[in-house]
Structures are given as structure tokens and as C-alpha cells.
Amino acid sequence: MTRRASLAAIYAALVSILLARSLTRGAAAEQPIRILALGDSLTQGFGLPLGSDFPAQLERALKARGHDVAVINAGVSGDTSTGGLSRLDWSLADDPDAAIVEFGGNDALRGIAPDVTERNLDAMLEKLAARGVPALFAGMLAPRNMGPDFAARFDAIYPRLAEKHGVLFYPFFLDGVMFDPSLMQNDGTHANAAGVAEIVRRMLPLAEQLITRAKARR
């Protein structure tokens, strides 16, 4: 083979590689943005009719605003931050484009030391960052019957970690819902379907920012 023919073959091979990569990127860009909603019963939809859980309502709201998304319900009722961390790796096995992290309510109710909760949440956000998965971090507040010291230590976890990791931050998952009986189930802990709709409405601007970050990752 002459030197000119050899160079032509190399050039053709490079063009083929670049074209294949371009087609792969194009195909990826056409796929829905897949958002992993990782959390406890507040994410899973405890006590709610089918299709009225947080991931389902968020997906519908985002689609109504023109976003091609799929929100994956990875909520487990009763889960703590320890449980969430233990299942994070296999929850990421399908390579989601973004994640919403919602944990801590059960930690507080069980009186788990805030230091433990913080370590777990810190590790989750660390793992997501290492995988290049942008996150929306949803905060929680401790029940006030746990005492002022516990509440102060617990509540401070979320803004501290949000700042450390530079993630999108929604300070309190039940904001605007928790103290409105018309938006809560009878247990006073979980939002009803209307309450979930209010959570989605309030969180929607951050969810759209999350999509923007996910698209930039592609």
C-alpha cells in the first residue's frame, strides 16, 4: 500500500469513528431525560391512589411543559438514609440522567443520630457526583418533639450538604403542605394527592433546572 493510500485509509477510518460518535450522541439526545427519584415513602407514594405519587405527578407536570422525561420511582416506604445509600449503586445501574434525593424523615422519627444521617447523605451526593449525575437535593425538618438540640443539628444537615456539593436544593420537601390538613393524609405525615400536586408545583422550577443540567451532561 502506498503512503497516499495508507493516509486515505486512516482518514476514512477517522471519519467513520467521528460519524459513529455523532450518531450515538444524536440518538442519546433523542432519548427521554431519565430522572431517578430516590427516597422513602414520601417519594414512593404511601397511601396514595395509583398514579398520584410524586414521581408520576412530576413526570406529568414536566411533560405538560414540553419536557421529554421519564421519572423513575425509586422510593421505598420506611427507608432511612442508610437504606438509601445501600441501594444507590444498583439504582444507578440503568444510568439515569439526573436524580432527586429525598431522605431523612424516617431517620429523624427513629432518633438516628444526625451525624449518621449526614454521613449517608454526603456519601450519596458524592457517588452521584462521581458518576456525573446532577442532583436535586430535597431537605427535611426534624419533628420538634425530638427536642431543640436534635432539631438544630438535623435541620442544618441539608443546607450544609447542598452548599458543599453544589447541587440544586429544595429546603423542605413538605413545604407549604405539612401544616395544611387539607393537603395531608390522616396520619399527619404523608401528603395526599392534592398535597403531592402542591409539592410538584413548588418544585417544578428546580426540576426544570435539573433537566437543563442533565442535557448539558449529554
| CA distance to 62, 86, 138, per residue, from 207 (Å) | 8, 25, 11
d(CA 151, CA 144): 6
- Closest by Cα among 26, 27, 35, 88 to 211: 35
Q: Does 177 lie in the same domain as 165?
A: yes
Q: pLDDT tens-digit profile of 157-171?
A: 999 999 999 999 999
- Closest by Cα among 146, 81, 88 to 107: 81
CATH of the domain at 57: 3.40.50.1110
Q: Does 117 lie in the same domain as 59?
A: yes
Q: pLDDT tens-digit profile of 10-67?
A: 454 444 544 444 444 544 557 999 999 999 999 999 999 999 999 999 999 999 999 9
Q: Does 26 lie in the same domain as 37?
A: no
Which residue numbers are catalytic?
41, 187, 190
Q: Does 3 lie in the same domain as 64?
A: no
For the entire predicted model, the pTM comes to 0.86
What end-to-end distance do the CA atoms of the chain give, in Å? 40
Query: Where in the sequence is the domain holding 11, given as residue range(s)?
Result: 1-30
Domain count, the chain: 2
Q: Does 209 lie in the same domain as 151?
A: yes
Q: Does 198 lie in the same domain as 108?
A: yes
Q: Does 93 lie in the same domain as 192?
A: yes
